[in-house]
Structure 1
Amino acid sequence: MAIRELDRFLVVVTIRTPNDAEWDRYLQLYESPETRAKRVLVYASASPSASQRLRLRVAEGEYPPRKAVLACTKEARVAAVAASWFNSQLRLFSAADIDPALDFIGAAGSERTQLRRTLDDLRRELSMPRSTRAI
């Protein structure tokens, strides 16, 4: 799991189910009101466990951030669909639908370029292929 905080956005990339230490670091970001106000872009090949998803719902509270999930696998897609039942601010996109995902989280102009670059950097950091076939 790799996470990068930008001005108005939080970018998260997963290639496997996060371990509890990784998940704890992610949830700590929600302790800050400034972070809670950010929009979230998730590029997922794996999903958090059921208990991790529950902890996230608690951390996000009554007003979760707007979140776009780019699902690369069926596992990630199923988890995102289930999470969307409890979070009206979460929308699922295929891995190839980066532009609609960026529209959903309100990224404009140079932010879009920065978010794309950040996704590429985090995928490279995790040794993830640049292009993942959409499901």
Structure 2
Amino acid sequence: MGRDYVIFERNSVPGSFFEKYPRHRKLISINKRYTGRKNREFNLRHDWNSLLTDDFSILFTNYSKEYFPQADCLLKYLKDFSEKFKLKVKFNTKISDIAYNKNVANERCRFTMKDQMERSICCRVLCC
């Protein structure tokens, strides 16, 4: 909603961490498909895998029926979510040298970092 952002992903797919982990391939986050309630907000509080959005057509509960779902289901979900919402993801980008600059004149450059090509990147807000 009007946010200027970018998501950096070290590998070529969203959520690549889940290609390898967990090693036993089962998530420990529950997939509670039925809460006994019709209230969507209540149901989302018990849905530990869905990403928050106003579009209820893309919930993780539609990707697996298992209480402890397979990691591959989460990978598919993250890929579909990224594509559906056209998320600004820079794949194959390794970020390093993150620094907080408290005395900068430009508020938009509170944080600085470098990518694998040694290009400098700056931003006002950083989430890791």
TM-score between the two structures when normalised by the length of structure 1: 0.28
TM-score between the two structures when normalised by the length of structure 2: 0.29
Look at both structures and tell me which one has the larger radius of gyration over its CA atoms.
Answer: 2
